């Protein structure tokens, strides 16, 4: 017997056609199921007066926001490049959970009207809510490229990297955010966690000590104390500050200046600066120390002259009188105020206990007690 142009045995033909019949029934069932879904959706739209939206997440009822969203859509249809309205629509769609709708609206705006950084805030939030972390990181990167001095964009990208599981990139971005704004309250804990999860417990401990230096009362919080004990158990004694020093200064002075020795060879006049995350060196001092100009990762630092690029590297040792710290992170910048070789920041100071006595004109530095 023949099935089309192919010769087959009678039994094989019956089997084949039986399978076709089964497939036909499956296809018929699928068609009926899709038709029922369509009827359900039409019924839903009828019940809600057209207030629904379909996304991969399912049916979305805009609820109390329906009239507002419809109004915004109508206004944007009339004025497609109205920046205020597209941001308002995007924010509202994100509020009601229509993340894909917000992203579609943003993309249409970008294609027709060009880039708009504020709208990237909406895209970042929508991508992150959809667990599209690479796309969220890309949104944050575009924002960083436009304004590298904005701390928020750096920790936004850090959050996306953290969610993705790229802990080293997340740590770098958190570190950058803290460098731009040392008084960030919660991001330093993210940084500590990223260092620990990257297998760098000693870097995590140093970052935690910097945090405690800015917020001393937090040292008593149970969760942070547990974290500190766990990191100390990793064995980071080599990075602990040793010895002590007393820096005298005039109570009427605007700055505390200390003379330090770096790598046991170069003396440097440095301003004590608890607002600087890393010890900061002038390019001239770095050259005298023999530090390569292109060494280390690039970073942005905030100076009196604005946001400036810098390079991160490590010096073997810094001595301040009898106080010593080894393997200290430093940032190398092109310019510093006249008469200053650098800033003595937290990458050195956080390894010690510090007591400031402004009335006596004394800054006391001592190794941390067990």
* Residues 42-71 as b or e (16 or more Cβ within 10 Å = b): eeeeeeeeebebebeeeebebeebbeebee
| Domain ranges, residue 352 | 240-367
Place of tokens 């507002």: 68
When computed from its CA atoms, the radius of gyration of the chain, rounded to whole angstroms, is 31
**Co-location of 195 and 104 in the same domain:** no
The tens place of each residue's pLDDT in the chain, 370 residues long, gives 333 334 334 334 334 434 444 444 444 444 444 444 443 443 343 333 334 444 444 578 898 999 999 999 999 999 999 999 999 999 999 999 999 999 999 999 999 999 999 999 999 999 999 999 999 999 999 999 999 999 999 999 999 999 999 999 999 999 999 999 999 999 999 999 999 999 999 999 999 999 999 999 999 999 999 999 999 999 898 899 999 999 999 888 888 999 999 999 899 999 999 888 999 999 999 999 998 877 678 999 887 778 888 999 999 999 999 999 999 999 999 878 788 999 999 999 999 999 999 888 999 999 987 6
Query: How far is Cα 364 from Cα 245, in angstroms, rounded to an integer?
Result: 6
Strand partners, 272: 344
Sign of the Cα pseudo-torsion (349, 355, 358, 362, in order): negative
C-alpha distances out from residue 309 to 247, 282, 285, Å:
30, 12, 17
Residues 6+ apart with CB under 8 A from 200: none
Residue 30 lies in a domain: no
H/E stretch holding 327 reads: strand 323-333
CATH of the domain at 352: 2.40.70.10
- Joined together, the tokens standing for residue 2 give 């023949």
- The candidate with the shortest Cα–Cα distance to 263, out of 292, 296, 294, 290, is 290
pTM over 0.85: no
| pLDDT score for 292 | 82
**Co-location of 244 and 233 in the same domain:** no
- Joined together, the tokens standing for residue 271 give 């301003």
Direct distance between the N- and C-terminal alpha carbons of the chain, in angstroms, rounded to an integer: 93
| Last residue within a domain, chosen from 238, 260, 280 | 238
CATH of the domain at 212: 1.25.40.10
Query: How far is Cα 133 from Cα 225, in angstroms, rounded to an integer?
Result: 31
**Co-location of 245 and 360 in the same domain:** yes
Query: How far is Cα 268 from Cα 291, in angstroms, rounded to an integer?
Result: 15
**Co-location of 185 and 115 in the same domain:** no
Residue 185 lies in a domain: yes
Query: How far is Cα 255 from Cα 271, in angstroms, rounded to an integer?
Result: 7
CATH of the domain at 60: 1.25.40
Residue 12 lies in a domain: no
**Co-location of 219 and 299 in the same domain:** no
């Amino acid at each position: 017997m023949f099935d089309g142009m192919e010769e087959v045995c009678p039994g094989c033909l019956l089997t084949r056609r039986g399978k076709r019949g089964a497939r036909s029934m499956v296809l018929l069932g699928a068609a009926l199921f899709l038709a029922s879904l369509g009827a359900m959706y039409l019924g839903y739209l009828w019940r809600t007066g057209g207030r629904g939206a379909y996304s991969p997440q399912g049916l979305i009822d805009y609820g109390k926001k329906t009239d507002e969203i419809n109004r915004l859509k109508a206004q944007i249809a009339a004025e497609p490049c109205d920046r205020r309205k597209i941001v308002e629509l995007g924010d509202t769609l994100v509020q009601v959970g229509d993340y894909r709708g917000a992203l579609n609206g943003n993309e249409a705006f970008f294609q027709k009207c060009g880039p708009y950084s504020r709208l990237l805030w909406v895209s970042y939030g929508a991508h992150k809510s959809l667990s599209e972390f690479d796309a969220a990181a890309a949104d944050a990167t575009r924002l960083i490229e436009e304004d590298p001095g904005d701390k928020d964009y750096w920790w936004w990208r850090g959050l996306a990297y953290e969610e993705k599981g790229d802990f080293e990139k997340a740590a770098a971005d958190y570190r950058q955010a803290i460098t731009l704004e040392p008084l960030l309250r919660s991001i330093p804990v993210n940084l500590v966690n990223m260092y620990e999860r990257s297998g760098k417990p000693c870097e995590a401990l140093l970052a935690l000590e910097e945090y405690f230096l800015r917020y001393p009362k937090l040292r008593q919080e149970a969760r942070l104390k547990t974290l500190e004990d766990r990191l100390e158990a990793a064995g980071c004694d080599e990075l602990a500050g040793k010895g002590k020093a007393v820096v005298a200064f005039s109570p009427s002075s605007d700055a505390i200046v200390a003379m330090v020795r770096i790598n046991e060879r170069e003396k440097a006049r440095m301003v004590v600066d608890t607002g600087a995350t890393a010890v900061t060196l002038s390019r001239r001092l770095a050259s005298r120390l023999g530090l390569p100009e292109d060494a280390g990762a690039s970073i942005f630092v905030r100076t009196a002259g604005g946001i400036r690029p810098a390079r991160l590297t490590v010096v073997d040792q810094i001595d301040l009188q009898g106080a010593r710290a080894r393997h200290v992170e430093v940032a190398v910048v092109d310019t510093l105020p006249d008469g200053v070789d650098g800033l003595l920041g937290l990458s050195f100071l956080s390894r010690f206990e510090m007591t400031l006595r402004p009335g006596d004109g004394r800054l006391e530095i001592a190794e941390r007690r067990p």
